[in-house]
Structure formats: structure tokens, C-alpha cells
Chains A and B, each alone.
Chain A
Amino acid sequence: MADDVTKKQKKLAGNTLFTHFIMFGSSGSRVLNVINISYLQSRSKRVWVRKPLGSPMAKSKIFRITPKPALPEDEKAEIKRLFDNYKNSMKSIRQYFFEQSLKQAESGEVAQTKHRLEDQEHEQLVEENRLENEKTAMLREEKLKIQAEKTQQNVLASLIKKEGEAKLHEIQIEAFLTKQMCTPFIQAENIEKAIEDALANPVNFNFALDLDGYIYRGKDTSIDTIPEEKRERLSRN
């Protein structure tokens, strides 16, 4: 096995693919991406990485046929059986170890102390919460009292107001009714007299008004025919 050998490919006729390449990777850093750096200095020999993909096959290896190790069938079967049994038992052993670790984590001292501390903390917090709730309850009660008083007062005031309004309304109704009663309604007794009066005094609604306040009665009245002195002044009744 060659240690610390850097291969140099000599210039072939026309072929100068690789003049010099190092196939040994340096330990302590990855070949592809330098993530993992060993902080402890290591002076071990360089590790074989792999032959570059474009490089040709070595002359000594072109016609090599590797001897394939042919095992008899029973041996293969025996090997398979051994490995299957081993894998089965390893799986179950790993599972068992895992469960044991869980149990230990639950029952161990660390877990117990943790549980105890957590319970204490919980109690403290519950107590704190209770006190806080009480405080806020007191405040809330006071506020509610004040609010209740206010609402009571408001309601009283509104009730009084409504009463006053109702009285006013009544008075107004009475006034209106009396006024209505005063107007001369035509009853059954007065009907004949009313008819005769109406017939005797016909009302003429045809008139015109002036901006100066003069009234001109009659449908066919012409303004020019009436002199200025005899104009009728509109009076408010």
C-alpha cells in the first residue's frame, strides 16, 4: 500500500488531462464541504478518497478479472439465517433499552425532584391567582354598586320627566278640545237656519292679491277700472 504518494501523470502524446492530482484527502476536514474541522491536531496519514472520475484505468488493471468468491448454497443459507436471527434480536434489544431508558427517566431521582418542584410551583401560582381574583372581585363589586346607583337615578329622572310630559300632553289635549267645542258646529237643530244663511250669503273665493297689500275681488275684475283711492286694503281677521 502506498503511503503519501502523489501520482503524476506524464504527458502523453497530445493528452494532457492530469498533470498532477492528489488522491489522498487530508484528514480533519471533509473533501466536499469544510464543515467539520478537528481542533485537535492530527498527524495521521492521509486517507484515500477516490480516483477522479475522468481519469483513465491504470494499465495494470485493464485486463484484470477479479475472482468472484462463490459460496455454496448451504453456506449462504446459513449466513442468511444467522444474520436474520441477529438482526431480529438486535431490534428487540434496542427496543428494550429504549423502554428501560423511558422508565428510568420517569422514576429516576431527577424526574422525581422535577415533579416535586413543579407541584410546588403549581400550588404557589394557584394561591397567587386566587388572591388576584379576590382583589379584582372587590374592585368589580364597588364599580357595580356605583353603576347601580347611577342607573337608579337615571331611571327615576326619566320617570319624572315622562310624568311631566304626560301632564303637559293632557293639558294640551284639553285646550284643543275646548277650542274645537267653541267652533260653531252645525247641529241637527241649526241645520235649516244654516242652509238659509248659506244661501243668503254666498262666498266668492275669486280674488287676487297685490304685493302692496291690496285685494281685488271678483273673477272678472280688471285692475285698471278701479281708481287708487277705492282699492280695498287686505285686513287680517
Chain B
Amino acid sequence: MAEEKKKKIFNSESAHALVSELRKTFNTGKTKSYEWRVSQLKNLQKLIEEHEKEIIEALQTDLAKPEAEIHVGEIGMLKSSLKTTLKQLRNWMMPEKVKTSMTTFPSSAEILPEPLGVTLVISPWNYPILLSIDPMIGAIAAGNVVVLKPSEVAPASSSFLAKYLGEYMDSSAIRVVEGAVPETIALLEQKWDKIFYTGSGRIGRIVMSAAAKHLTPVVLELGGKCPVIVDSDINLQVATRRIIGGKWACNNGQACVSADYIITTKEFAPKLIGSLKHEIEACFGTNPIESKDIARIINSNHFDRLSKLLDDEKVSGKIVYGGKRDKSCLRIAPTILLDVPEDSLIMNEEIFGPLLPILMVDKIEDSFALVTSKEKPLAAYLFTNKNKLKDEFVSTISAGATVINEVTIHLAVHTLPFGGVGESGTGSYHGKFSFDAFSHKKAVLYRSFAGDASVRYPPYSNGKVRMLKALINGSILGIILALFKLSKD
């Protein structure tokens, strides 16, 4: 059965037929019901519960991801996302009453969430299970039908998703399309009601261009170089551990919110490097490249890309720790570089790997200008105890999110919107923000036939202007005065 499916070519025609089919399902109104949404979300829960083993296998095949990271970074996040969504869904679906003013008196108004329709989720290879299912949770919770296109660069995870989503979910409304560039292009040619894309800025542009042809709104979860600014008077051990947690223990740096590079003072750099070396070995042993507690590089393309960053002559001699590479098992040791030039390759693209450049400044305050001279990242991190520095950091640095004294933990807080700004993306999700991302908030205004202000209608006269001014500005006194001055219309 699986072989047959793989042999079939998925082209523009197939994509069109798929979208038509799903649109038919959506138009029946089935997916709008609370019961349907809950049933699908519960099916996702079951899927994850019953096939945890297979999820772990797939992620270990694709990325050699340590089991603990899988539980923290993928399974755990999904479980808590589903739990929150199921608990809150009824609330989220309810209309929100809003106040109305004199201008529309008498009236009542509300904002009503409704599904957008046929949605497309395109997910990346680094958290292939999480970043496929989490957006889908939002799409389903909001009552949409959804097509998932998982990344072919994580093939075991892609197969897992195709197989089990096919088994557990309502296939008249939820489908998975596996494939690579041709299949993605075929999908992007269709008319969607929303496209949710996680990946690179380069493809993000392609997705948005395709969406523009159909006026399809998009959410783009991209990346960027997430800086970590490290001040000197901090608890160095805790900060170091957290940095490691947000780099090598975070899919080996292959995450959109990973610590990309560090900025610290010339004075503090040696201490920080010493602490990093010490703590890296405490976490991963004396030969970190062999540690099973670090994910490997996803494939040889990325391995070569990362090697190129290290081979750049501008950074030769800058490696102060690590640097070992093993192409046969796609591993590069946790590597620290010090004082790399601004125009080196490593400082001009998102690293997405186990290389950590450290830049130095004279005063810690100088780090802000360095960060703002680059594109806005998905996250910016600061370690300090100085309140003034914290405030300046938050007010100066624009990023998807800013985190103080921690790295990447903000992802787990479902009451915070997760998304970028500028080059790091547009739109956000997690928790209720996921529901909102896939909803249209319809404005509903109830007026009665009573209380009609004839000043609104033609034929127009000067008296009407006075009355109108008073009405629009909600000024009761103005209305009374205008009434007295009003000539017969």
C-alpha cells in the first residue's frame, strides 16, 4: 500500500484535486463543530501516546536526537499544547462582546472567531514532529481543514507523520503530502485560505510570493542570528549551563531560537570561555564529539555548509575550543571561536549548528549597536543582573522575543506569542495565538430599527452638519444644542 502511494506522482493536478476535495469537506460545515475539533485533537493525543516509541525512533533516525531532548523539545511540548488547547477551546470559540459608543447607539456588538477554510502547513526538518503537529493543532482547533507538507530532509519523521496522521485523523479533512520541491511547488500553486510556513527566509519569500497570487495570508516562522549578550556580574555557572542548554542541548544548535553567537566584554571573555569549556565537558564528557547526548548534523549538505564556515580563511586561528569534525557520522564537536571578523561567513548567515562565535566589545553597552546593525532575529538573549541594562536591552533590541537570564525557555510559555519580526518572520502562534492565527475574527454589529438619526441621510442641509458633528463625537451637550438649532429638514 505504502509503495503504491509513493509511486504516484503528486503534481499540480493532484494538488488541485486535493484542495477541491478538502474544500468540499469544509463547506459541509463539519469541521466547525466543537465536537469534531475535540475529536481530532483527542486523536492527536492518542497518536502521540500510543506511538511515542515510533516518534523517538524516527527522530533518532533523522537526527540522532537524544531521547531526553525528544521528550522535552517535541513530545512534551505537543502534549502540553494539546492539553491547553482542549481545556481552553470552548472559551476561545466563544464570541467576545465589545462595548459600543454613542456613535452607533443603540447597538450591541461582538467579535466572532470563525475558521478560514483550507489551510496549508509546511514544516522544517529540525523539529519535524513538533513543528508539523503544533501548527496543525491551531488549524484544527480553529475549525479548518489542513494539509501538512513535512520536510523531506527528515524522511523518517515524514513517513511517520504520513502513516499515523493518515490512520488517526479524519482523512476527509486532514491530509499529509510527502515530497520535495516539485510537490511543494504544486501545493503552493493552489488557492489556500492560509499558509503556515516554518523554515528559511529564502523559501519564506517564495511562499509569500505564491500566496500573493491568491491573496492568501501567511504566517512565516523564520530564523535569524539569535545573539546572547553576556554581562560580567552574573552567576557564571548557571548562565553557562543555560547557554549550553540553548545551543548544543538544543538540537545541536539547529534550532531557529538557538543561541547563534555571543557578545561579551574583552575583560570577561576569558572567564566565559573557561566556564563554557568546563560545563561542556560536564554535560557531554571529555570527548564531546562522541557524546550520545548531542544530536548530530542533519545531513551531509549541512555538514559541508558548516565545514565551510570553519574553513573560511577569515576565521582561521580563531577556534579556541573544539573544531573536530567527522563526516562519516555527521558530527562536529561543540566549537567555540573568539573574535571572528564582522565580514566572515560565520557572522553573515544563520549558523544552525554547533559553532559558537564570541564577539568582544569594550563596554557591554556597545553590544546593542552590534545587534541592531543586523537583521531582527527571532530571539535575543541577555545575561545580566543590572536592571538598567535589562531595560535598555528590551527597549533597544527589536526581536521576535527578548529573554533575560535564560535561553529558549520562552517557547514553553503558551501565554506568549511565538513569532518573528522583520527577517525573522511575520505572525505568531502557541496557545491561543495558534487558534487566532488560523481564525478570522468576524465583527458583528446588531442595530435595531428604533432610534434612527435622520441627519445621516440625504437630502443634506447645514443643520445636519452640526448635528452630525455632535453625534459622531458622542457629545450629549452638542446633540442637545444641535437639536435646538436644527431647522426642519
Bind each other: no
